[in-house]
Structure 1
Amino acid sequence: MTPAGSIRLRVFSGPHLGAEIILPPGEHLVGSDDSCDIILSEGLVSPRHALVRIIPVQEDPPQVDIRPVDDAVLIDQSSAAADGTPWSPGSPCLLGSTMLAWLPSKDTAEAWQELIARLAKPADSTDRQATPPLAPDTQAVEAGTNQAPTELANADSVDSAATPPRPRNRITGKIISALVILLCLGSLAVSYEFSTRPAGVNQQELTEILKESGFTNLSVERDGEILEVRGEVADDHERVRLLRLAQSLQSPVQLDVHVRADRIGAIAFAFNSQGLFPEILKTEENNGYQVRGYMRGSQVEEAAFTAVLEDFPANTRPLLIRDIIHADAVDETLRPLLSRAGMNFVSADYRPGMVIFSGTFSEAQRSVLESVMSETQQALGVPVPFRIVAATQVTLTRAATPANTTSAMPMAAQGPAAAEPTEASIEGLQVTGVTLSPMRFISVHTGERVFEGGLLPTGHTLESIDDKELRLRKDGVVTIYRLRGANE
């Protein structure tokens, strides 16, 4: 169903001759750009030529006005005002060489035929029909000749070319002649302007245009008849602005640009999927990115960077510049800071991409520990991800070396809490996936990935992962969580 207050817009000239469209109330942008609501494929139509505004009126035809945006608009041979001009039904409107007109959507096809007939009708046809009889003119002729009026009227030998012109026809003819001359001059001016418009831009001119528009990090290369723009822009807004600039040029331009935010996000995600959380920064080198952060050792570092590069196609792989510190460097800086703060009892477990602190901490101790880690990161100059895990009892499952543990808490006496593991279902825990290679982690219903040693949403520590079961610990109690399908 056609919305109330809609209009029927029709094209009467140009490449879209005869096209008709229903426009609902609102604003509609007309031009040659892809972003317009009505796109006209005509050389004299500007990218954003004009704005048509349709306002519905109850029980009456809608009110329509048109406002020039990028170029002039003619309505009934008069230029439309910059702030908009009313556009009456059936009035021809000219955009470039494309003529448009509209009628209310409820009008029938006969209304178009009437409009077409009116537009095709000669401008002086009504004047010729309304020409007065010759009687008033005969007096003027009689005063300048020796013939009587009756003799002049009855003289068959008098050539029609010698008949004096009618005054009204003379005025109408002058008006028509002036209009024809103006139209001819206008068409010549338009043709001259169009023909002298530059056919395109060369490589140097496009480079200057890009610099003037703020794109200083882009390069221009020529590939036959096509200019290729390469480089990187900051974000999606810059990419859209560059696309609009390329569309406004007369030359064919191919864009091969990357969005810096997308590229950095892709590299960061490739590391995060391995349980590593370095900081990614753009360098001055082309396609160069600095990776700053912590990884447990050189073996983890080499495996991580190899896996990240394999995630990218060979021709678009980033140049990764490393600034990575290992567990021994963190431990060497962290140990004296913990001792100075009176926190030397804290157990620090160095995981592949994170440092885990476990123990029973008060709010004040947590604040001190966070301050110590902040000082450690400042001293090392790179971010070191850490996590504070609260537990009532910490049992060391393997011998610790100075490279991966600062100092061990006094081991608690074995008691009821160190009983044999029990099997139980855990409320609030839903395991949706298990990954065993190249790194062991599980996926839970919240979408989070938890690696071995990580903390589950239920407060349990994930001690080990197997294809049949998970070993969990909470408050010193070990629980075996059977995976679905393990016994099938």
Structure 2
Amino acid sequence: MSGENLELAGAIELRVLHGPQAGARLPLQPGHGYTIGTGDTCAIVLGGAQVAQEHARISVDAEGISVEPLEGRVLTLAGEEVQPGLLPLGTVLQFGLVKLTVASLDDEWPADEALQMRSVPTESADEVEQDDVTDGAAAGLEALAPTPSPSAGVQVLKHAEVRRYAVYGAVILLVGVAVFAAMQRPAEAIASTVETSPGSLEPEVRPVATEAENASALAEVLKSFPKSSLAVKRTEGGAWVVEGRLRTDKELQRLRERVSMLEVPVEVKVMLDAERLDLVKRFVQAQRSPGRLELRMEPGAGDVLRILGSASSAEEAAAFPERARGELAGLEPIEFDILRPEQIRERFMARLREAGLDGKFRVTATEPALELRAVLGPQDTRIWEALFLDFTRRYGSTLTISAHVDPERDAIAANVAAVVGGAFPYIVTTSGQRIAPGGALAGNTVVAVRDGEIVLSDGTRFRYGP
């Protein structure tokens, strides 16, 4: 809640100006949404003709009133439908035949004349007939009527009572009764309207709920969000706060509506899962430094987020998790796996063993860079290239790896001293061995010796001669 809304809290109320509940009022919490209608599921139950089950949703803040029609129409006194946007505090709204407004506690109630629609009202047949019978008497009587009360509903009851006496009594008696009724009827009408209305907005007078009852009510609300991580806390000042995370914005809106119906004010400090994920991603991107600190994020089990990577020094590998826990407080659970340089070397050699290449590589140096040499055939070369690219993508360049790989055919060619052609060609190795097609050379079978090329069984080809 903003600072302006905090100042408004407790100073804004809903007022029913005309209808069965005229004169009723209800404090509103700035920043919360309230559904209004005749249905039991509404946050505010409103009685009156042409009011829908869930007529509309309203909310109020420091800038004005926001109205969202649901199953009914909401009109202004000009007879125009309310459009999206903020309306000034004190604007009179019409829900069916009921008129209400949202205003400050210090604002005066509008006069009855100010509540009239901009069109000419249609009188009922009974009123026309009664006016014909008691035209003169009613005119004199209305002149003696007192100033209208703040409630439009009271004014309607008062005029109906006057006409009823005009039909059954003499003019002199009627004037006396009307004067007496004018003194007694307004207070009675207000009390009757509020007491008999099934949707009265005035809360019942009952004992203030205990802390245990409030805690129990909040716990019941949280039970309706079983897949969330919500918790109830108390501030140092004793205020109630709901904290945690929810999956969707729709769940957050439902939570706000539920807690707004409780007897005790509750502050909602809830983060959506998408917001949490975005905050962690931004932090990881800001902390990444090629060659010094390589980082990436991936989801873990359940609600866990994992930050993986490597550091160029043991000090940096130890400092980053501590720094992250301070910056990302409130976004837990988060796991860290940041490798030190020696751990990166161990993991790289383990990957070579898993790929079956460890016996073909020879380590020539470990500091400051890991240096390797190997002679590989075509298939092993493809495995090596895929392994190296994947390892670099996952752990970055915090550890320099220098690998010198010679193709195996070059090593084979170096062992060939001469090739004798003709109808029965053969190879002479540097050791003096003669190998004809079908014989073994460097672990492979010689398939053919022709056209200045030696072909081996693994697909290796190399040329000989000038």
* Superposition TM-score, scaled by structure 2 size: 0.40
Higher relative contact order by CA 8 Å / sep ≥ 6: 1 or 2? 2
* Superposition TM-score, scaled by structure 1 size: 0.39
